Amino acid sequence: MSSNSLKKHKHTELSFLGKSYLIAYNGIQTLGWSYLLLQTLTYFLNRGTLDNFWQEIKWTVLIFQNAALLEVLHAAIRLVPSSVFVVLMQVYSRVFLVAGVLLATEAATVSPGLPLCVLAWSITEMIRYAYYALNLVDAVPQMLTFFRYSTFLVLYPLGITGELLCMYHSLEEIAEKRLFTVSMPNKWNFIFNYHYFLIFYMLLYIPFFPYLFGHMLKQRRKMLSDLSKKSA
């Protein structure tokens, strides 16, 4: 099935309510991530420092990043034709960083990785959600399609680097405070060391990054091929 046929099939399958909901969801997310980018640029152009950056953007990140969890539900109930596994991996890494690292430690919030994350996330999501919203009404400009399937070549590695830096800078604080760590003896006969878990989690980026990046490269080849056919 061609991409055009797939789009038409998708639109006919969606109910009016489902389509309206997705347009609203993607539109709100576009505005939210655009606002985060504006906050970030304004903050640093006004000579803001890393010391207070997280406090400046915290609630914007919490609201719009956690709202992305709905995308897993969208895929699970087939409201969108996406792989639940791929969506879960993409969303989970960011939610985990926010909830398990940035909210848990001070060191991560002053890491140079934080502005890298926020910059990569906000630009990526602003483009992605705008693309999704306009695609639902068949009004995607060709330039937006190109950006949607090209900017990740730089922004995805940038975001991953930022995430890893935030986690790396949090390790010492997590070890010192023994955050989320369960030691023996206890009534559950269970032991868990969050410091070592986070190191293991960081190592998982080695196999998963090529998988997700390769998935996006395949999408890029397909979509830009379709785009070039339309332009011909």
List pLDDT tens digits, range 153-199: 999 999 999 999 999 999 999 999 999 999 888 888 889 999 999 99
Q: Where do runs of H (alpha helix) occur along 77-204?
A: 84-97, 113-135, 142-148, 152-177, 194-203
User: Among residues 156, 168, 201, 205, which one is catalytic?
Assistant: 156
DSSP 67: G
Side-chain-facing half-sphere of 35: CA atoms under 13 Å:
15
User: Among residues 25, 131, 163, 194, which one is catalytic?
Assistant: 163
- pLDDT for residue 216: 92
pTM for the model: 0.90
How far is residue 156 from each of residues 123, 136, 146, 216, measured CA to CA in Å? 10, 25, 15, 10
Whether 156 is catalytic: yes
CA distance 152 to 131: 14
pLDDT at 7 over 50: no
- Say whether the peptide bond before residue 81 is cis (omega within 30 degrees of 0): no
- pLDDT for residue 229: 77
Instruction: Output 85 or 5, whichever has higher pLDDT.
Output: 85
Average pLDDT, the chain: 92
Share of the chain above pLDDT 70, in %: 94
List pLDDT tens digits, range 35-57: 999 999 999 999 999 999 999 99
List pLDDT tens digits, range 52-88: 999 999 999 999 999 999 999 999 999 999 889 889 9
Contacts of 167 (CB under 8 A, 6+ apart): 97, 101, 108, 198, 201, 202
What's the sign of the alpha-carbon dihedral 172, 173, 175, 179? Answer: negative
Q: Which helix (H) or strand (E) holds 104?
A: none
pLDDT at 120 over 90: yes
- Helix then strand then coil, in percent of the chain rounded to 5, is 80, 0, 20
- pLDDT for residue 232: 63
Own/partner pairs for 9-13, CB < 8 Å, 24+ apart? 10/81, 11/136, 11/138
- pLDDT for residue 13: 63
